[in-house]
Amino acid sequence: MHYRALGHTGLEVSVLSFGASSLGGVFHATDDDESIRTVRTALDLGVNFLDTSPYYGATRSESVLGRALRGVPRESYILATKVGQYNNGEFDFSAARVTRSLDESCARLGTDYIDLLQCHDIEFTDLNQIVDETLPALVKLREAGRIGHIGITGLPLKIFSGVLDRTAPGVVETILSFCRYELNDTALDSLVPYLREKKVGIINASPTGMGLLTPRGVPSWHPAPPAMVAGARRAVEYCQSVGADIVKLALQFCVVHPAFATTLVGTANPETIRENVAHIEAPLDFALMAKVLEILRPIHNHNFTRGRPENRDPIIA
């Protein structure tokens, strides 16, 4: 496993990291004991960055992750969770709620300290509230030593500058972007110089596009329009036809980008995390990569967006 600096946080994170949304059963039914073995396997393989949220599986992801981490030395892993989004699409970024949320997450995760606390999917709220109320509350928690670092997450790329342009340097230390840098979409790349200038670390999530680039395909709630799903399917089927694994290619494509500190991939299966770590350590098949990128060209950077109208990215379809 290789490690990279997460922006200017001082944290060194594994280039492949563990996304725990799958532990909440958000993709398909999962077995908690198997989920726990998956986390332990990830740690054994050198994965040291774990990301969750109270939203995933309505707190189940955090609870299962907490059970998995029982007895594991706290300093051996970097724990990230989030505030502001809860079950049933409920959002509350008020200072009081995010402060209470930290305590609740800590109780479920069996710790009194979170390394990285992130505002979860800020496109669904008024960014003025994030800037004027939520982030100042998180800064107080950071000053009090309850959290190490502060981040923001979401789907539309415009939300990142929407917040970073209006906050003092050092307030927001990381962004987590998802589904905007994967085999079929490289839009996040255009933000790299800006984020570097802002001294903000980049976490790239969902290298398979939340299942788009997997043999299993997308879950029913997936927001991609049918043409995009069909376009991705063609690449999946091509890989199957030549006996190649599209997930391997998808992970390699993300992990080699030197500006992304880490790529978060989700699974609740110990064998799958083992496979994924092996994938990123295997040599890249450049001819296959070129062929798959060519198949995906018709849907390159096609996207979906969400959130408040003022926070949405323009749609390319």
Which residues contribute to the site for ligand NAD (CB under 6 A)?
19-22, 27, 51, 120-121, 153-154, 176, 178, 205-211, 214, 216, 247, 264-267, 272, 275-276
Taking the complex as a whole, the smallest distance from the CB of residue 177 to ligand NAD amounts, in Å, to 8
Give catalytic residue positions: 56
Q: Which is nearer to ligand NAD, 129 or 214 (CB)?
A: 214
- Comparing CB distances to ligand NAD, the nearer of 137 and 205 is 205
From the CB of 66, what's the least distance to ligand NAD, in Å?
15
Q: Distances from the Cα of 144 to the Cαs of 113, 123, 140, 141, 256, in angstroms?
A: 11, 28, 6, 5, 36
Chain residue at closest Cβ approach to ligand NAD: 19
Task: Specify the residue, 14 or 153, whose C-beta has the smaller distance to ligand NAD.
Answer: 153
Give 79 or 131: the residue with its C-beta nearer to ligand NAD.
79
Nearer to ligand NAD, 148 or 209 (CB): 209
Count Cα neighbours of 100 within 13 Å in the Cβ-side half-sphere. Answer: 8
The span from the CA of 32 to the CA of 269, in Å, is 10
Residue among 38, 14, 29, 11 at smallest CA distance from 271: 38
78-83 and 114-119: which strand pairing?
parallel
Q: What are phi and psi of 57, to 5 degrees?
A: 65, 30
Report which secondary-structure segment, H or E, holds 91. Answer: strand 90-91
Q: What is the dihedral of CA 182, 185, 187, 192, to 10 degrees?
A: 20
CB of 233 to ligand NAD, least distance (A): 14
CA 69, CA 91: separation in Å to the nearest integer? 27
